[in-house]
Structure 1
Amino acid sequence: MTTEVDLLNTIHEYADMGLSGLNQVIPLSSDPSFTRELQHQKSDYEAALQKSEALLEERHIPRGKEAGPVAKMMSTVMTRAKNLADPSTSKLAEMVFQGSNMGITELTKGINDYHGEDKAVLSFAEKQLKQEEHHAETMKQYL
């Protein structure tokens, strides 16, 4: 069973990984419209990190779980390798889309496994899920 802290850590970790991935992809983008969308998503991840930190602190947890350094390194290596093979906006959008789908999966599992009573945490998780679904949907236009 997922606790409030587990659910908040899931949000924090996926937002940290999303932010890390976007920081790798944004400099590779040559399409202004696509770059604006990535910047918007980056702002959403930054806000999710701040909110999850605040909610964790309210529960006396000093720091949210971050994506592991190996996962971040692998993301960087894969992004660079895929960009060398195909530097198109479509390929970059595909990578972002795949990342969003991983976030959707993790958030959905966390929400479905959560049976707690903390409405603020559940509401925040559901909001993040809808936002990530929107991010994935937005990437489809660039595929």
Structure 2
Amino acid sequence: MDGNTELLNYIYQNSQMGVETLNQLIEIVEDHDFNKYLHSQLNEYTSLNRLALQKLKEFGHEEKGIGSMAKISAYMSINMKTLMDKSPCHISEMLIQGSTMGIINATKNIQKYNDADQQILQLADKLLKTEQNNIEQLKLFLK
């Protein structure tokens, strides 16, 4: 695979994990304001996911989805971590940790594929900025 495809698949997988995680958390969260925020975050990841998929198809490539084991592992991890504490504070902390990993990985991939198509780099940068913004917004729920 070329750098364009690798970077697009990274964006696709990252945003897909965000979509799946947020869908699971929305079912768990009882706080109305926090749930509303999670829905807005879900819309961001869904948009990024669709754009990455569209670009992959434009380049004539199929998306490489998240592996089954990674999905199951993430699902079980969320269930275990929210079993005793479903508070917005606790879930925000979990999401901040995930977004921090996302920032690190997005930065590495942007640098690794810095010669990729400009539109793809812009999409990767949008993902990076989304992760950064998520952290700032989630800090408001750390009470």
Does the CA-based 8 Å contact 1:22-1:96 persist in structure 2?
no
Structure 2 residue ranges without an equivalent (≥5): none
**Structure 2 equivalent of residue 18 of structure 1:** 18
**1:1-143 correspondence to structure 2 within 5 Å:** 3-61=3-61, 63-143=62-142
Contact 1:18 1:99 in 2 (8 A): no
- TM-score, with normalisation over the residues of structure 1? 0.92
How far the C-alpha of 1:85 sits from its partner, in A, is 2.1
1:3-44 CA-partner distances (Å, limit 9, x unpaired): 111111110000011111111111111111111111011111
Q: Secondary structure of 1:142's match?
A: coil
Deviates more, 1:121-130 or 1:78-87: 78-87
In 2, are the aligned partners of 1:11 and 1:52 still within 8 Å (CA)? yes
Normalised by the length of structure 2, the TM-score is 0.92
* Separation in 2, partners of 1:52, 1:136: 22
1:72 maps to a residue whose letter is K
RMSD: 1.3
Runs of 4+ in 1 over 3 A off after TM superposition: none
Q: Structure 1: state its 5+ residue gaps.
A: none
* Whole-angstrom distance in 2 between the partners of 1:37 and 1:15: 17
Identity %, equivalent residues:
33
